[in-house]
Amino acid sequence: MPTIISVTNNKGGTGKTTTVFNLGAALARRGFSVLLIDLDAQCNLSIAAGVSQPAHHVGELVLGEATFEQTLVKKPQYHLLPAQRVLLSYEYRVNNEPDSGHLLADVIKDKDYDFVLIDCPPSLGALTVNALVASNYYIVPMQGENFAYIGLDEIQKLVLKIKKRMNPDLELAGILLSMFDLRTKFGQMVYQKLVQDQRLKVFTGNIRQDIALMECTVFGQSIFDYAPESRGAADYNHHCEEVLALVGKTPKIPV
């Protein structure tokens, strides 16, 4: 049984795709088999993986219009269920299906991977619901600014409903402060506010601003291949270790 982790925030541009791409690479480097799922019609994860015109997309898979094997793209370090722009219309189509929240869970739960990481769209619609219903954990990348709290509240409300009705075991892995500088006064203030909230869990490691993290997805390389000595590589390595400690798995290959 894979450990399934959704990376979600309804606010756009908080580092979801960057986290899925590089946490996935960090896990693969440690010897784990990894499936990445692009649930966002912007297709940023698929593009970063060099898959811009896939034969089939994950929306077709969940509606039974394509098989898992037809949809899967195999890369040397990981496998990918890609997106296409047309995925946007699948929000609506998925919503109209009976038992619509379980469609993604049904197609991935028995797959033979150590980890499945799901890149959610910046919304809390039917596809994000499907991701959270399928997941053991969710990570919320967040930038340290005031508006971010509003989004966090909405995610937590949705998670409460999903836990109650569809997936009681869903657990917050943690809030991941990204593009964030803990050394600033403001950064400290945001961090303190989050850790004082008993309902929340915050990863101790944050992801600092690093231009190499922006560049690596453009070049289709993980931060570990693109800039192994960068701050971004160090931060995502540390993040990966925190995730492994949380889920109770040890690296198969030491790095």
Instruction: Name residues contacting ligand ATP, limited to 90-149 (CB under 6 A).
Output: 122
User: For residue 79, what are the β-bridge partners?
Assistant: 35, 74
Q: Which stretch binds ligand ATP (CB under 6 A): 27-35, 127-135, 213-221, 242-250?
A: 213-221
Q: Does 178 bind ligand ATP (CB under 6 A)?
A: yes
* CB crowding 160-172: b at 16 or more within 10 Å, else e: eebeeebbeebbb
Q: Which stretch binds Mg ion (CB under 5 A): 40-48, 50-58, 169-177, 200-208?
A: 40-48
Q: Which stretch binds ligand ATP (CB under 6 A): 77-85, 93-101, 105-113, 203-211?
A: 203-211
Q: Does 206 bind ligand ATP (CB under 6 A)?
A: no
Instruction: Name residues contacting ligand ATP, limited to 38-57 (CB under 6 A).
Output: 40, 42, 44
Q: Does 79 bind Mg ion (CB under 5 A)?
A: no
What's the sign of the alpha-carbon dihedral 140, 15, 90, 2?
A: negative
CB 137 within 8 A of CB 242: no
The encoded tokens of residue 15 equal 């580092």
Q: Which stretch binds Mg ion (CB under 5 A): 41-49, 107-115, 163-171, 202-210?
A: 41-49
Q: Which is nearer to ligand ATP, 3 or 44 (CB)?
A: 44
Distance separating the N- and C-terminal Cα atoms of the chain: 24
Q: Which is nearer to Mg ion, 40 or 210 (CB)?
A: 40
DSSP assignment string, 200-231: --B-SS-B---HHHHHHHHTT--HHHH-TTSH
**How far are the Cα atoms of 87, 107, 117, 213, 233 from residue 182, in angstroms, in the given order?**
37, 40, 26, 18, 17
Among 17, 71, 84, 130, binds Mg ion (CB under 5 A): 17
Among 11, 16, 56, 57, binds Mg ion (CB under 5 A): 16
Among 3, 6, 8, 18, binds ligand ATP (CB under 6 A): 18
Q: Is 138 helix (H, G, I), strand (E, B) or coil?
A: strand
For binding to Mg ion (CB under 5 A), which residues are involved?
16-17, 44
